[in-house]
Amino acid sequence: MNNGASELPPDLRLSHDPAPSIETRRAIGQAINEFHARTVPWDVRRFALLLHDHDERLVAGLSAVLAWQWLFVEALWVDDAWRRRGVGSVLMKRAETVAKEAGCHSAWLDSFQARDFYLGLGYGVFAELEDYPEGQTRYFLRKRLA
């Protein structure tokens, strides 16, 4: 079986890690960041918005990245008991405000379950990835903030 190793220089060894550790993923990310630092100015900041109930239980949250004048919404989660009550919209609008205050001109995200929610917030689809997961489509959406 040809695993692609025959195409590598003889002093390199290819291995397959079926469950890479956080340290491995962090090392690859750091190497990419160091490469980017040589080619584009580093401008990445992370933030989260968290909603807690009266018992201090997390009921909704958003994590995001501000990078190169773009907001990237990594994740938005709302507990089932709070869905369809405007909580997700409030988090998204607040994230957009944070981004605008930081000088961002646009926002983007991806989703395979909430396309219509994001369309309702003014986002538009710019790409689709079919069967990710199987039988569903992953949508990539963006919105101009400025």
Residue 2, phi then psi, degrees to nearest 5: -90, 115
13 belongs to a structural domain: no
57 belongs to a structural domain: yes
Question: In the predicted model, is pLDDT for residue 123 greater than 90?
Answer: yes
**Residue 41, token pair as written in the block:** 């100015």
116 belongs to a structural domain: yes
pLDDT digits 0-9 by tens, 17-52: 999 999 999 999 999 989 988 988 778 899 999 999
52 belongs to a structural domain: yes
CATH of residue 120: 3.40.630.30
Sheet strands side by side (includes 124-130):
44-52, 58-67, 70-78, 106-111, 137-144, 124-130
70-78 and 137-144 strand pairing: unpaired
Residues 6+ apart with CB under 8 A from 144: 105, 106
81 belongs to a structural domain: yes
Q: What is the mean pLDDT of residues 130-141?
A: 95
Predicted confidence at residue 6, as pLDDT, reads 67
Cα 59 to Cα 63: distance, rounded to the nearest angstrom: 14
Are 72 and 99 spatial neighbours (Cβ–Cβ below 8 Å)?
A: no
Looking at the 3D structure of the chain, how many domains does it have? 1
Could you tell me the pTM of the whole model? 0.84
Average pLDDT over the chain reads 94
85 belongs to a structural domain: yes
Question: In the predicted model, is pLDDT for residue 146 greater than 90?
Answer: no
Tell me the DSSP string of 112-127: SS-HHHHHHTT-EEEE
Provide the residue range defining the domain that includes 78. 42-144
64 belongs to a structural domain: yes
pLDDT digits 0-9 by tens, 56-109: 999 999 999 999 999 999 999 999 999 999 999 999 999 999 999 999 999 999
Question: In the predicted model, is pLDDT for residue 2 greater than 80?
Answer: no
Predicted confidence at residue 1, as pLDDT, reads 43
139 belongs to a structural domain: yes
Query: What percent of the chain has a predicted confidence (pLDDT) above 70?
Result: 96
